[in-house]
Chain A
Amino acid sequence: MTGTKGTIVKLSLVVVAMYGFSYALVPIYDKFCEITGLNGKTNEVAYIGNDIQKDNRFVTIKFISNVANSAPLDFEPSVTEMTVQVGKAYNTHYVMKNNSSKQLHTTASPSVTPGKHAEYFKKVECFCFEQQTINAGEVKDLGIQFIIDNDLPHASGDIILSYTMFDITDSVKETNRL
């Protein structure tokens, strides 16, 4: 029966390994998205390099916004469209208003469309890097500074930058309580 025992041990190891693999898929997927622009996620920490050259090309950036789960927030871009020079830093901002009667914690999730262009959209500053706190009735300007990388392929078409604002007040409270 040593044969059987050996088989069981080996197969059990495969089972454990495959369970581990399902968790390994999480970072693999993130890396994969980063390379291919699969889900249009942009850089999650500020871009601080200075290797981007100015380029004599212009692209149109369109700004859109969403509020998740119909949270009591107004959230809009201050301008809906900018034509920007490739390689040059620009500033713009979104405006958020708290329509509820209590303080809210929020976080924004960015998405660039087409996703494959996400890697050329470099954010120097962004409100999406951290959580926001907004008081009842408060109106807040949320700034971003960005550069379009000169590696952007020619004839790329318009780039769309979207932010979805999530109300995470409940989970923040939960964490504080713990």
Chain B
Amino acid sequence: MKRLSVFLVTMLASLTTMADWEVNMPRGVTPTANAAYDLHMLIFYITVVIGIVVFGVMFYSIFHHRKSKGAKPASFHESTTVEIIWTVIPFVILVGMAIPATKTLIMMEDTRNSEITLKVTGYQWMWKYDYVEDDVAFFSKLDSDSNEARQLGSKKDVNKVDNYLLNVDNEVVLPTDTKIRILLTASDVIHAWWVPELTGKKDAIPGYVNELWIDIKKPGVYRGQCTELCGKDHGFMPIVVRAVPKQEYTKWVSLNQKNRVADKSK
């Protein structure tokens, strides 16, 4: 596995020069996405430590207990005490992981006291957004630039397309510092709505309604994709959320109320 570490080192070295060598989950801009990030790092570090210990012992043994170095095999082959120890210790570590994980989960599932409700409906292959309280509704699909470039045999250079495959015709606009309840459903098959920096994903299932909540702490544009195989254009129904301060959001809502579906769905 020496080669693997060399590979990793080269990769980490090139991180400094190339922005595209992203190796980790992005930190979130909502309490829920941040909690997921923290848990991810916690479990990752724990597994790294366990890995170093276990592989360390293994490699020590591989280097020192080899026949070519004249090692003679020992005869021990069982020990109840040892077995109990290495059953109990992992169990204790797991309990240590389960406690913060459960706390986070309870926090994530509490959608009460949301201020606005956004209904998201998955279609083959686009999203529809309904602002339940505000009478704003529109479809959102892959922007025409990406759509042209993605065709088989297209002459358009994908590297020159702005946010290739992660850009839409109509962005979802949402206010910052607001608890937003997101309702998910679908019109035809199962889709899943995911914007990594805002929240983990959840399935949009025809006939049923799922829910999520987010509270965006930082204005900005956040991009995501459908994450449940939904047919041939599954890879081509991105999500773009623009988070703006509350006043700006209110202004946006009043400009976009009524009949926006009719205007924009073409």
Direct contact of A and B (CB under 8 A): yes
B132-A70 in contact (CB<8A): no
Residues on A with beta carbons closer than 8 Å to the beta carbon of B111? 114, 157
Interface centre among A81, A112, A113, A166 (most CB of B within 10 A): A113
B123-A109 in contact (CB<8A): no
Interface centre among B130, B132, B187, B208 (most CB of A within 10 A): B208
A113-B183 contact in complex given A62-B117, A157-B112, A157-B113, C-beta closer than 8 Å:
yes
A64 at the interface (CB under 8 A from B): yes
Residues on A with beta carbons closer than 8 Å to the beta carbon of B206? 66, 68-69, 164
Residues on A with beta carbons closer than 8 Å to the beta carbon of B117? 62, 158, 160
CB distance from B226 to the nearest CB of A (A): 17
Residues on B with beta carbons closer than 8 Å to the beta carbon of A111? 185, 207-209
Residues on A with beta carbons closer than 8 Å to the beta carbon of B133? 80-81
A40 at the interface (CB under 8 A from B): yes
B183-A66 in contact (CB<8A): no
A40-B188 contact in complex given A62-B132, A66-B121, A157-B111, C-beta closer than 8 Å:
no
CB distance from B67 to the nearest CB of A (A): 43
Proximity bits, A147-158, B CB within 8 Å = 1, else 0: 000000001111
CB distance from B78 to the nearest CB of A (A): 31
**In the complex, A69→B113 CA distance in Å?**
32
B209-A64 in contact (CB<8A): yes
**In the complex, A157→B181 CA distance in Å?**
11
Residues on B with beta carbons closer than 8 Å to the beta carbon of A112? 209
Among A155, A157, A160, A164, the residue within 8 A (CB) of B183 is: A160
How many interface residues does B have (CB within 8 Å)? 22
CB distance from B129 to the nearest CB of A (A): 12
A113-B211 in contact (CB<8A): yes
A124 at the interface (CB under 8 A from B): no
B254 at the interface (CB under 8 A from A): no
A158-B114 contact in complex given A62-B132, A113-B209, C-beta closer than 8 Å:
yes
A168 at the interface (CB under 8 A from B): no
Residues on B with beta carbons closer than 8 Å to the beta carbon of A162? 183, 185, 209
Proximity bits, B207-236, A CB within 8 Å = 1, else 0: 111110000000000000000000000000
**In the complex, A151→B181 CA distance in Å?**
24
A52 at the interface (CB under 8 A from B): no
B187-A40 in contact (CB<8A): no
B150 at the interface (CB under 8 A from A): no
**In the complex, A111→B111 CA distance in Å?**
16
Residues on B with beta carbons closer than 8 Å to the beta carbon of A80? 132-133
B207-A68 in contact (CB<8A): yes
**In the complex, A157→B113 CA distance in Å?**
6
B119 at the interface (CB under 8 A from A): yes
Q: In chain A, what residue has the closest Cβ to B128?
A: A66
Proximity bits, A65-102, B CB within 8 Å = 1, else 0: 01111100000000011000000000000000000000
Among B123, B181, B185, the residue within 8 A (CB) of A70 is: B123
CB distance from B118 to the nearest CB of A (A): 11
Residues on A with beta carbons closer than 8 Å to the beta carbon of B185? 66, 111, 162, 164
Residues on A with beta carbons closer than 8 Å to the beta carbon of B210? 113
**In the complex, A36→B123 CA distance in Å?**
29
Proximity bits, B181-210, A CB within 8 Å = 1, else 0: 101010110000000000000000011111
CB distance from A79 to the nearest CB of B (A): 12
B188-A109 in contact (CB<8A): no
**In the complex, A70→B187 CA distance in Å?**
7
Residues on A with beta carbons closer than 8 Å to the beta carbon of B187? 66-70
The 10 closest A-B pairs by CB, nearest first: A157-B112, A109-B207, A162-B209, A111-B209, A113-B209, A164-B207, A111-B208, A113-B211, A69-B188, A39-B208
**In the complex, A39→B206 CA distance in Å?**
12
CB distance from B133 to the nearest CB of A (A): 7
